[in-house]
Amino acid sequence: MRALLVGPYEPGSSRFRFLSPPLGVWRLCGFLVKHGHGCDVFDPNLDDPMSSSSFRSAVVDGYDVIGFSTTHETLENDLSLAVLAKHLAKGATIVLGGIEATLNREIEEICPEVDVIVEGQGERALLEMAKVNKRLLERRISLPLMPWDFADSAFAFPFASVPYGRYWKAAEENGLPPLEARSVRLYTTSVCKHGCSFCSYTNMPIGFQSLNAEGIFALVSRAKKLLEPETIIFSDDSFTWSRYRVLEFCERVAHLENAPSFICEARADQVDPKLLDAMKRAGFRLIGYGIESWSDDVLKAFRKGVAAQRQREAVLATLESGITPFLNIILFPPMAKMRDVKETAIETQNWIELGCEASIEPFVLALPGASITREGYEAWVRDAAVRYPDGTERHFPKEEFLLPSDPKLRELALSFNYRYREKLKATEGFVPSRERSKLALKLLNELAGW
């Protein structure tokens, strides 16, 4: 079987975050090649499929399967590319996968041109597709989760085939220093198991699997040898879920000559001063925390399982260790009151002044599969469209984010969102998260009069 795998398509995304390879499809590619199949990857954010012939040339190259990875934010773009591929590659089976394809049960109605929807992880499902006959593949079917080995997939990642040089060059052209631009992202766990209400990934039908410290070190060593990155970014939702695993990895890295620096995500209740000191000695320079809010009422509604005071203690301990905390904040949760938003905005500003970095999102996304989307909150609905090669479109309503239930807060939130987007449009070039955060907090203070 020959497969072409296409990453999620988000036009203009390079203005607000540096481009990085779509890890999911590259991991699938390495897995298929390891098991004797041909596979290529197309990243539509690196080679714009609408302004060049590169995508059209790729899809007519005789592939048996053309697969598209989907996210909620990019759904209409991904489906438009799938329709174009269906039109150009007459003999290929069009496959849809990823979180959105798994958890959004309306996709088959929105885009009947898709032949197969893969639920959960795609490794074993694609191998099974290679075994069955063409007649079965031409049916529109939904493949259930099949057992697979996370370590087998992780170690098959084709570092040498990914065009990291192009991504690093684009990042440096956006003004990022080599320490940030020359980075490699890795996953060491299969899924998040903590069950926050706003997260869809935690509800993917996937068993939790993890690399041990030896496996992580082996993966880091391989990436270092092949690519010589300045930074390794562990993209797991919580790299520190196992304290023992982190301490053992840090001990191993201490003996790695010219080791890169490290960035990871962590939960506030899974770090402590001793662990943070070990991570600092191992080269960790930034830890991202899903703070979301400094209000205990909001944290309980989110089912975070962490109190605001515990978050404060973790952030302070991280600063004291010499590692920079990166705070992920949601300004206007649907259940929030005005006092919750004020408390979160003021405290986030205070932490930024103490040396933290932050990423601020206005709203909770209305993600299919996230439990919060079934809790009765009103969603902001946008008219989205799948575009066809003949210029026609198929429109469908797309829930984008959840609105605050409090009337006064909703009015403030919508006013903020409109003006914030307008200010971002007026800026030029790449806008790093620290600058967006400052802009967001300043604008909110002006509108709210705090």
Q: 3-state DSSP helix/strand/coil percent for the chain, to nearest 5?
A: 45, 20, 35
Q: For residue 63, how many other CB atoms are within 10 A of its CB?
A: 22
Given pLDDT bands bounded at 50, 70 and 90, which one contains residue 86? Answer: very high
Topology alike, domains 2-150 and 182-374+402-448: no
Task: Identify the architecture of domain 2-150 in CATH.
Answer: 3-Layer(aba) Sandwich (3.40)
Strand partners, 84: none
> Do residues 333 and 298 lie in contact, with contact meaning Cβ atoms separated by under 8 Å?
yes
Calculate mean pLDDT across residues 249-273: 95
Given a contact cutoff of 8 angstroms between Cβ atoms, the answer to whether 363 and 403 are in contact is yes
Q: How far is CA 276 from the centre of its chain?
A: 25
CA nearest to 279, candidates 327, 245, 304, 237 = 245
Per-residue pLDDT at 17: 67
Token digits for 166? 């192009």
Q: pLDDT digit string (tens) for 156-209?
A: 999 999 999 999 999 898 888 899 999 999 999 988 888 899 998 888 877 788
By DSSP bridging, strand 393-402 and strand 364-365 are antiparallel
Reply yes or no on whether the pLDDT at 36 is more than 90: yes
CB 327 within 8 A of CB 289: yes
pLDDT of residue 134: 46
pLDDT score, position 155? 93
Residue 69, number of CB atoms within 10 A of its CB: 26
Which pLDDT tens digit goes with each residue over 126-161? 888 887 754 445 444 555 545 567 888 899 999 999
C-alpha 179/C-alpha 19 separation (Å) is 15
Q: Residue ranges per domain, the chain?
A: 2-150, 182-374+402-448
Distance CA 79, CA 387 (A): 8
pLDDT, position 135: 45
Q: CATH number of the domain at 182-374+402-448, please?
A: 3.20.20.70
CB neighbours of 209 closer than 8 A, spacing ≥ 6?
149, 150, 151, 189, 190
Higher pLDDT, 277 or 433: 277
- Whole-number mean pLDDT of the chain? 91
The number of beta carbons lying within 10 Å of the beta carbon of residue 10 is 17
- Say if residue 253's pLDDT is above 90: yes
Which strand (E) or helix (H) includes residue 260?
none
DSSP string, 289-329: EEEE-S-HHHHHHTT----HHHHHHHHHHHHHHTPEEEEEE
- Asked if the model's pLDDT at residue 65 lies above 70, the reply is yes
Q: Which residue has the higher pLDDT, 84 or 59?
A: 84
DSSP state of 210: B
